[in-house]
Amino acid sequence: MPQPNNTASALKGPTEAQSLPIAIRDITKTYGSVTALNKVSLDIKSGEFMTLLGPSGSGKTSLLMALAGFLRPDHGSIKFGEEEIVLKPPHRRGIGMMFQSYALFPHMNVFANIAYPLKIRGRSKSEIKAAVDEVLETVQLLGYGSRRISELSGGQRQRIALARAVVSRPKILLMDEPLSALDKNLRELMQVELRAMHERLGMTTVLVTHDQREALTMSDRIAVLRGGAISQIDTPERIYNAPGSAFVAAFMGESSFLPVTVSASGYGYAGKPLKVASSTAVGETGLLVVRPEKLELLNSGADNQASNVFDGTFERLLFQGDSCLFFVRLADGNLLTMRRHLTQGEHASLPQVGSPIAVALPENETFVVANDREA
């Protein structure tokens, strides 16, 4: 369906800003002995798509609820633009919200569900009709107004919940795991649609997810949470390719870690020097982060030129459809995994399982991080 290019401008007044920056300062929240949020500070730019990513219990929902006004922090400040809102009730914060359980009203039709936030704000009937139709078009469900909620698929309900979240044209949109109830294909489609809608409407958006790929796909920046504090804030590319710690590296994707030594003369692994592009190691040890897709398979005998070569035993090959995973056991017992796409011809020329194998990590892909995994 062709998208109207005037949706955003028709939805908002010509001089009205469509987004606001968010400034979070020193937000702390404890529940008895549990510290849900520990002095969190975060600046979100006007119009930015920021994702709060972290394992279960890391404080994502607590932080989002503090923004929404359903959680009163023990300490700290939150500003939307110039305005301190930490004591303001939720309905006066001018935000749109969407959650995993979309909480549509089952006894109302689609139109009435979406119209609800405008109705309680006392908008006129004609205003409400125009706004609902526009937002239905934005979520590609124009003409569905009189449908019952029970007649809709899961994906359509999710779009209605999204339409309801943005119909009052909030400058800030907050979403907590909005797609986690959907199956994989629909979730990926909705990720693209959500991102496209963000680009059209331009509101500052804060998304909570525990799904790394979703965060990488959708965000301008990602804040990785751990134990109620922010571990790293960065662009998806940097979070993935230049993680600041082993925790972030492990959380963001498949990786092997090798213990390395750090000294004035450089980096070393298993007594051999290592060429390293970047490092956040502190002290005399660190962990080398090895993403499976960054490793290169060396031809036996050749390629002595390559730096960062790891010799080991080809322990196992896993066929995974679009690619194969090689398990390489190093002499000291550490395991590296390497991911390759193999053509039919390459399958025939692979080394035998159990035979020696050499893999290399290009210098520009070589990152050493501080070992904070057990911290």
Give the tokens for residue 154.
């899961």
Between 31 and 319, CB nearer to ligand ADP: 31
Cβ neighbours for 241, distance < 8 A, ≥ 6 positions apart: 367
Question: Minimum distance from CB of 283 to Mg ion (Å)?
Answer: 34
Q: State the minimum distance, in angstroms, from the CB of residue 250 to ligand ADP.
A: 17
Please report whether residue 226 would count as binding ligand ADP according to CB under 6 A: no
Q: What angle do CA 374, 329, 297 make, to 5 degrees?
A: 110
Q: Which stretch binds Mg ion (CB under 5 A): 24-32, 54-62, 103-111, 321-329?
A: 54-62
Applying CB under 5 A, among 19, 58, 61, 113 the residue interacting with Mg ion is 61
User: Residue 145 binds which one of ligand ADP, Mg ion, none, with CB within 5 to 8 A depending on kind?
Assistant: none
Piece of the chain touching ligand ADP by CB under 6 A; list 18-26, 29-37, 241-249, 327-335: 29-37
**Size of residue set near Mg ion by CB under 5 A:** 1
Please report whether residue 60 would count as binding ligand ADP according to CB under 6 A.
Answer: yes
End-to-end CA distance of the chain: 51
Q: Residue 179: phi, psi to the nearest 5?
A: -110, 0
Q: What is the CA radius of gyration of the chain?
A: 25
Choose between 36 and 104: whose C-beta lies nearer to ligand ADP.
Answer: 36
Residue 60 C-beta: closest distance to Mg ion, Å? 5
* Of the candidate residues 18, 27, 59, 328, the single one contacting ligand ADP (CB under 6 A): 59
Given ligand ADP, Mg ion, none, residue 31, with its beta carbon under 5 to 8 Å by kind, binds: ligand ADP
Q: How far is the CB of 31 from Mg ion (least distance, A)?
A: 14
Residue 66 CB, nearest distance to ligand ADP (Å)? Answer: 9
Q: Are 164 and 114 in contact (CB under 8 A)?
A: yes
DSSP 8-class letter at 101: S
Reference 134, options 280, 3, 312, 30; nearest CA is: 3
The identity of residue 28, as a single letter, is T
Site for ligand ADP in 305-344 (CB under 6 A): none
Kindly state the smallest distance separating residue 230's Cβ from Mg ion, in Å: 16
x/- track of binding to ligand ADP for residues 31-50 (CB under 6 A): x--x-x--------------
Candidates 28-36, 137-145, 180-188, 312-320; binding stretch for ligand ADP (CB under 6 A): 28-36
E strands, 45-158, where?
49-53, 75-80, 83-84, 95-99
User: HEC states along 178-237?
Assistant: CCCCCCHHHHHHHHHHHHHHHHHHCCEEEEEECCHHHHHHHCCEEEEEECCEEEEEECHH
Provide, rounded to whole angstroms, the least separation between the CB of residue 52 and ligand ADP: 8
The residue number whose beta carbon is nearest to Mg ion equals: 61
**Whole-angstrom Cα distance, residue 165 to residue 171?**
11
CA distance 339 to 361: 12
Q: Distance (Å, rounded) from C-alpha 345 to C-alpha 33? A: 60
**334 counts as binding Mg ion under rule CB under 5 A:** no
Q: How many residues bind ligand ADP (CB under 6 A)?
A: 11
Please return the burial class of 137, using the count of CB atoms within 10 Å of its CB with bins 0-12, 13-18 and 19+.
middle
Contacts of 48 (CB under 8 A, 6+ apart): 204, 205, 220, 221
**Which CB sits closer to Mg ion, 205 or 371?**
205
Residue 56 in contact with ligand ADP, rule: CB under 6 A: yes
Q: Find the shortest distance in angstroms from Cβ 260 to ligand ADP.
A: 31
Question: Which residues here bind Mg ion, judged by CB under 5 A?
Answer: 61
Residues in contact with ligand ADP by the rule CB under 6 A: 31, 34, 36, 54, 56-62
